[in-house]
Amino acid sequence: NEKPIATPKRTADILQKHGFSVKKSLGQNFIVDVTILQHIIQKADIHQLSGVIEVGPGIGALTEQLAKVAKTVVAYEIDNRLFPILNDTLRDYNHIKVIHQDILEADVSAMMETYFDENQPVHVVANLPYYITTPILIKLLREDLPVSSFTVMIQKEVAQRMAAGPNSKAYGSLTIAIQYYTDAKVVMNVPKGVFMPSPNVDSSVLKLTKKTEPPVKVDDEDYFFSVVQACFAQRRKTLRNNLRHYFGTSVNKEMISDVLLDTGIDPQRRGESLAMEEFAALANVLYRTF
Ligand code: SAM
């Protein structure tokens, strides 16, 4: 029985055996600490009936640990140099499917119909490539896939923004975008030393649990997200000024103030102080008024 892939020695041996050099541009920082991986899997509530979608298996460190627990693991990997390596490192598992594709281009919904049973709980578990963390999560959330949770290693500062509450520095349009679809929680902070090579930034594991219903009713989702973005365009500015800038000359200051007051929101407040419900009420009134 071989050691887990996630040890410094075994990872170095695998990379050397295959003459592989990591590409920083693809966010290739491999985990070399098996305890961290087991913690992630535990936080994700993976059990023997679970289906798992992994993004970026790398040389298979997390994939291997997932395969020990889950029923099916489907992993998307963009770098074709990793395929011979994965064929080697994961050869003992026949319930792992590796797909050679950019996750941002993938038809995940069709893949799920092919590889998972209709009532099987499916979770996303990944150590994400940090250069596209937000696009990946937003894509998977907006597609409304039958996925119950996302447990992902990402840059610490981004995790804090996704899990933030109002009146904090980290709270912004990304917070609202993520929390519209999920309950977000930072479940672990992870030191740089567990990666090979170590990244330049600190990392956290974020757990997103899908909401069964959106927490607020909005007339138009795209419009809602645009208004939220507009309210944070210049963080130090009041809502009235940010919205006035957003609508341009077609709408004057008084009209904006009137709408805000109608919604029960003081025009002098900043975006930072608005809860999701207030953003929704505001976007709906703006949508119906202008
Ligand atoms: N799971 C491994 C681990 O934990 O050691 C590797 C994680 S590494 C941080 C990110 C992985 O994502 C790399 O293997 C990289 O090649 C892959 N990747 C980067 N961009 C991708 C994309 N657009 N689609 C799929 N995989 C991608």
pLDDT digits over 105-138, tens only? Answer: 999 999 999 999 999 999 999 999 999 999 999 9
Expressed in angstroms and rounded, the spacing between residue 275 Cα and the centre of ligand 1 is 34
55 within 8 A of 159, measured Cβ to Cβ: no
What digits encode the pLDDT tens for the residues 191-205? 999 999 999 999 999
Q: Is 190 in the pocket of ligand 1 (CB under 6 A)?
A: no
- Predicted structure pTM score: 0.97
What digits encode the pLDDT tens for the residues 212-253? 999 999 999 999 999 999 999 999 999 999 999 999 988 999
Expressed in angstroms and rounded, the spacing between residue 127 Cα and the centre of ligand 1 is 7
Q: Where residue 2 falls among pLDDT bands split at 50, 70, 90?
A: confident
- Residue 264: which residues within 8 A CB-CB, separation 6 or more? 281
Angle at the Cα of 82 from the Cα atoms of 205 and 138, rounded to 5 degrees = 40
Could you give the ipTM of this predicted complex?
A: 0.99
* Residue with CA at minimum distance from ligand 1 atom 5: 30
Expressed in angstroms and rounded, the spacing between residue 26 Cα and the centre of ligand 1 is 7
Tell me the C-alpha distance between 253 and 245, whole Å.
10
182 within 8 A of 168, measured Cβ to Cβ: no
CA distances from 133 to 12, 65, 110, 154 (A): 26, 22, 22, 7
